[in-house]
Structure 1
Amino acid sequence: MRLFLSSYRFGAHYDRLAALVGAPGRVALIPNACDAWPDMWAAAVTSDVVPLRRLGYAPETIDLRDFVDQPAELERTLADFPLIWVRGGNTFVLRAQFARSGADLVLPRLLADDVLVYAGYSAGACLLTPDLHGLEVADDPAEVRPACGIEPQWDGLGLVDHRIVPHLDSPTDPDGDCARIAERYRADGVAHWALTDDDAVVVDGNRIDLLLSPTAS
């Protein structure tokens, strides 16, 4: 299993993503964490397409809403990509769209078979953790039903054993919501990685590297 999980895009560690992936090629861009914000959806896609193209990748948008109740078709589609890029947004909306499309079953199988690399930031990273409780401080679960037609799910995919708090001490978290989540996890003794926008977690087989700046905890 190969994972690159960050707070914001590549953080300060693009070299580690490149080492996982090899030569840049096709990448499946999954923007469904933004499904609750239709007016922002196209701009959110563009904001990731541009930096990926600059690095030599060929991003193609994969909208999980096109695969609702079609997990076999989704698996065939994703298996053609060496890299999956899952952007940030609302973690609960993203989790719901993974459930509706079967991506929550498909991607773990593909990762276990080492078919592709999963790169996710913010919501795309939090999704892979064991449990999403606490993230409601920053992401609104009430956005799930209008956007997805189902109730929020509070379990993550469980592909890493720590919860992830993104945007620590970051201008992308002006109200300090993420700092409050990290403080709650510390107080409750919850195993977690609190990441600044420079930080990342890299999983390569049995090896896990936590790449933290001095201010992260």
Structure 2
Amino acid sequence: MKYYLSSYKFGDKIEKIKNILPQGAKIGHINNARDWTTASPEIRDSHLKEEMEFIDNLDFISEHLDLKNYFGKENELRDKIASLDGIWVCGGNAFVLRQAMKLSGFDNIFKELQKRDDFFYGGYSAGVCILSDSLKYIQFVDNPNDFPYKNVTETVWEGLNLFSYGILPHYDSEHSESEEIEREVKRCINNKWLFKTLRDGEVIIIE
């Protein structure tokens, strides 16, 4: 799998995406990190529309891939993702995103996708934090006890385990979470946890 991992939004290396994906590639936009219980539906939909239009303007074809539609339907989600060339996973609450991934079976599908060299994973903030081995690195940035989905009452701490360390976005940036990220950096240092910071605009590209 190929990765374009940004601290915030699409970052400063947008043209690189065009080198990773062919023109007309189909991208599923996963917006579930914005499903936290007090989120404004209007703001959530506005961000979704803005990001999908941005993807379309890069000469790709975007569509909303709502994991809620696949809760308990892992094979259906697998088939849907097989029809795409990649996914874009937005920021928000990483713990809520993790719940949606578990309920839909995305966890298992992600392991399969890692074996492909023709699939694209792009995202920012929560969509990047989720790739760590654990979400413990950001437990004071995002609320780990927000449960917007029915019958989910326990925090999922395990990440997707692409990285064996934490990714801390918005570091030293003009972002509302930068101060909390700074505290998380100190906590990682105190606990001797491995981590990598990303400033807004910075991007990790893996091909």
- TM-score, normalising length from structure 2? 0.91
Choose which of 128, 133, 136 in structure 2 pairs with 1:130. Answer: 133
Q: Does the 8 Å CA contact 1:87/1:123 hold for their aligned counterparts?
A: yes
CA contact (8 A) 1:93 1:148 kept: no
Indicate the residue corresponding to 1:207 in structure 2: none
Hey, what does 1:141 align to over in structure 2?
144
Determine whether 1:27 maps to 2:55.
no
3-state SS, counterpart of residue 142 of structure 1: coil
C-alpha distance in 2 between matches for 1:136 and 1:65:
23
- Within 1, Cα distance between the matches of 2:148 and 2:195? 30
**Deviation string for 1:91-136 (max 9, x for gaps)?**
0000000000000111220231234111111000011111110312
CA contact (8 A) 1:132 1:156 kept: yes
Question: 3-state SS of the aligned residue for 1:141?
Answer: coil
Q: Secondary structure, in 3 states, of the residue corresponding to 2:145? A: helix
Residues 11 and 72 from structure 1, CA distance in 2 versus in 1: closer, same or farther, beyond 3 angstroms?
same
Tell me how far 1:202 sits from its aligned partner. Answer: 1.7
Q: Which has the higher contact order (CA 8 A, sep 6+)?
A: 2
Q: 1:26 to 1:126 in 2, by over 3 A?
A: same
Quick one: percent identity of the two aligned structures?
A: 29
Structure-2 separation of matches of 1:67 and 1:192: 32
- State whether structure 2 residue 9 is matched by structure 1 residue 9: yes
Runs of 4 or more, structure 1, over 6 Å off, are none
Structure 2 CA distance, aligned partners of 1:174 and 1:92? Answer: 16
Task: Give 5+ residue unaligned stretches, structure 2.
Answer: none
- Residue 212 of structure 1: aligned partner: none
Counterparts in 2 of 1:148 and 1:136: CA distance versus 1, 3 Å: farther
Deviations 1:46-74 (A, max 9, x none): 13112212222221001000001111110
Query: Structure 2 CA distance, aligned partners of 1:156 and 1:203?
Result: 18
Confirm or deny: 8 A CA contact 2:131 2:163 kept in the other structure.
yes
Deviation at 1:148, TM superposition (A): 5.1
Equivalent residues in 2 for 1:1-217 (5 A)? 1-36=1-36, 37-39=39-41, 40-143=43-146, 145-147=147-149, 149-150=151-152, 151-173=154-176, 176-204=179-207
* Per-residue CA distance 1:5-61 (angstroms, 9 max, x = gap): 111122111233322223242210000001112523212211311221222222100
Partners of 2:176 and 2:167 in 1: CA distance: 15
Shift in CA distance, 122/187, structure 1 to aligned 2, threshold 3 Å: same
- Counterpart Cα distance in 1 of 2:67 and 2:173: 29
> Are the equivalent residues in 2 in contact too, given 1:89–1:123 (CA < 8 A)?
yes
Aligned residues: CA RMSD: 1.7
CA–CA separation in structure 1 for the residues paired with 2:165 and 2:19: 23
Distance 1:175 1:192, change over 3 A: closer
Compute the TM-score of the two structures, normalised by the length of structure 1. Answer: 0.87
